[in-house]
Homo-oligomer: A and B are copies of this chain.
Amino acid sequence: MSLMKIGVIGGGQLARMMIAPAVELGVEIRVLAEGEGMSAQLAATAVGDYKDAETVLAFAKDVDVITFDHEHVPQPVLRALVDAGVPVHPGPDALQFAQDKLVMRAKLAELGAPQPDWAAVADEADLRAFLDDHGGRAVVKTPRGGYDGKGVRVVSDPSEVADWFASWDGPLLVEELVAFTRELAQQVARRPSGEVVAYPVAETVQRDGVCAEVIAPAPKASEKLIELAARLGVQVAEGLGVTGMLAVELFETADERILVNELAMRPHNSGHWTQDGSVTSQFEQHLRAVLDLPLGATDLASEWAVMINILGGPAEGGLTERFASAMAAHPAAKIHTYGKDPRPGRKVGHVNMVGDDLDDVVYEARAAAAFFA
């Protein structure tokens, strides 16, 4: 007998990491996977194309809510679910802001949320004008489909995205190149009935456009910064009508401003530290939020939590041995793996470490993760 039934579209590691809290809460979890042998295989009850409304509607029968491993389900499919009376969280109105960065920028501007200067540019002339106004360099993004640094280029001349202008249907997004001092991530959860909670803001370190490390709370963050980030996260969640987890990736500037960089409406890599570092993990919180159950406490479980991503090395040999070596050397490290075949650069797991001395925690987390490099 399960408490409730949740259907997750997408079989990646985010769906996988919802399994543990679902089992503990007593929530039945069903996954619509893209294929066999996906990361969330254990909970996969269907395999099919999430772009196909019929497939998704069949999967959604007899669950209490539909939620997501990713933000790529097309709007017509989302609308078909809603029309069929299926609760969908986050819903299509919110998800459009995560699906299209131009739509997001326009909405954040309307909300008055702090963000980099930006423009929709239809051609090289538009982009040249923006570059001229912003010191000759800027970030160009395809409005849809980018992730982990893909679909993002820093340019100083419009010709550097000539291929995108030639192939992309519609305008591109250009943003000022923010001279940030560091990147932060604010996790927030919101229920359909309105309750909203914020986690302590974390510092994120990116390498080659991919999240490498997260430290929570963000070191040396003033009370003011922590409050500012939490308030901004709540403002965005409420303003965009987000239900479930929201990750707001932020730039912090030298003059202590924070600017919205990216949004994700689901558990996010920048919040994996909560699995071992918070009273309520972002995965449990997402389940509670989309099921409209009361939200869990977001207090830290220790003074510090550090997350280090494991990027898959060579496909050949030795993951089990490296795993055992990491465990032997670091018995307090929490190693999470995603059941994915290792491939260079692929996220195949992460290490969480918590404790009261930041230097120790960082050192040990990195040392444990290094066994997988």
Contact = CB atoms under 8 A, between A and B. Distances in A.
Main secondary structure of the interface of A (DSSP, over half): mixed
A4 interface: yes
Contact of A332 (B19, B296, B335): B296
Contact of A3 (B293, B302, B320): B320
Interface residues of A, number: 48
A370 interface: no
A16 interface: yes
Contacts of A301: 301-302, 354
Contacts of A335: 25
A178 to B, nearest CB: 35
Given A19-B19, A341-B1, A324 B294 contact: yes
A164 interface: no
Nearest to A21: B20
Interface in A255-289: 275, 279-280, 288
Could you say which of A280, A288, A323 has the most chain B C-beta atoms within 10 Å of its C-beta? A323
Return the 8 tightest CB-CB contacts between A and B, nearest first: A26-B337, A20-B20, A294-B328, A297-B332, A294-B327, A297-B331, A1-B341, A24-B336
Interface of A: 1-4, 16-17, 19-21, 23-26, 28-29, 42-43, 275, 279-280, 288, 293-297, 299, 301-302, 319-320, 323-324, 327-328, 331-332, 334-342, 349, 354
